[in-house]
Amino acid sequence: MDNAPPISRPYRVAFVLVDGFALMSYSAAMEPLRAANLLAGEELYAIDHVAVSGDKAVSSAGTEIPATAHAGDVLDIDLLLVVAGGDPARFDKPRVFQWLRQMARRDVLIGGVSGGPVVLARAGLMEGRRMTVHWEHAPALAEISPSLMVERSLYVIDRDRVTCAGGIAPLDLMHALIAMHHGHDFARKVSDWFLHTEVRPSGGPQRASLVERYGTTSPMVIRAIETMENHIAEPLGLDALAQRTGCGPRQLNRLFGDKLGTTTMAFYRELRLQKARNLLAQTTLSITEIALATGFSNSAHFSDAFRRKYAAAPSAMRR
């Protein structure tokens, strides 16, 4: 499909459903994958449902989802999404936490939806990673660890972790993931299938839309900024960014110059530095941890870029 790295086999997704999970959050994450298979006429996504106990999971509404796998199984998957609701801070199953850590060590992309990020945090999987959670569960995260990098966002993709606030936000997350796998045009078809015509960037809803924030309606510029926001810790090069955006590198630079008065990569670096400045102000993470979380190879490289941007050392932001 358009402008996306080819995937030669179905992308394998396992939903780990904690009893009491929010049915809307689960459906908003799973249904776009089913629709993608339907619209493509082939299995782009293979889906498993993992129960943490017994042979089924029960939602907050009483809906039962039969398990195709169980926590503890050795799963050959690409993405594992924990979906939880109710009071996820009370979820206390050491064997499940251990299994999640084992899956993380196998280079599986690990994620959480709604209260799922709380479960991941309790398993020790969110240290050094930016994350979000449903606002209802934010206080629980503060009690688990004050050093967690929690953002008020719809979803956050940070290297090998994906977190989502729940509700209908998974529709926006899945649009981003499908676009990464199969291109923006196909992802738009999937979103249109659900009448989801206003796809929101990861940073909403507390922030204004990208159009309002940057004053441009250029689809390619907006796509590029969305892609940048989803690749803060592991920045893409200009060629890779242009490919995911759907144009050539020179065209993308020309658009950024015309619409925003800067080059693509200069804008990208400024976006990462803004994120770093927020982390300095809002967390107790070390400067080295913040440097790595915002895509800088080391603290010296980060400090040099920060000084040139803000005319002050990172440590000065905390005084």
Give tens-digit pLDDT for 71-111. 999 999 999 999 998 888 889 999 999 999 999 999 899 99
What is the per-residue pLDDT across 287-306, written as a single tens digit (0 to 9) for each? 998 898 899 989 999 999 99
Give 139-189 pLDDT, tens digit per residue: 777 778 777 888 878 899 998 999 999 888 999 999 999 998 998 889 999
Q: What is the pLDDT of residue 201?
A: 64
Predicted pLDDT of residue 197: 66
Q: Which two tokens stand for residue 292?
A: 């790595």
Residues of the chain with CATH 3.40.50.880: 11-174
pLDDT tens-digit map of 221-230: 988 998 898 8
DSSP-derived pairing of the beta strands 109-114 and 161-164 = parallel
Distance CA 137, CA 271 (A): 27
- Tens of pLDDT, residue by residue over 5-36, are 556 589 999 999 999 999 999 999 999 999 99
For residue 311, count other CB atoms closer than 10 A to its CB.
8
- Dist CA 97 CA 115 (whole Å): 15
Q: What is the pTM of this model?
A: 0.72
Radius of gyration of the chain (CA): 20
Q: Name residues whose C-beta falls within 8 Å of residue 174's C-beta, 6 or more positions apart in sequence.
A: 28, 29, 32, 33, 190
Give CATH 1.10.10.60 domain extents, the chain. 208-319
Question: Is CATH 1.10.10.60 what the domain over 208-319 is classified as, yes or no?
Answer: yes
The beta-carbon contacts of 276-282 under 8 Å, at least 24 apart in sequence, are 276/302, 276/306, 276/314, 277/306, 277/310, 277/317, 279/149, 280/314, 280/317, 280/318, 281/317, 281/318
**pLDDT value at position 226?**
84
pLDDT reported for residue 7: 63
Fold of 11-174: Rossmann fold (3.40.50)
| Structure confidence at residue 33 (pLDDT) | 97
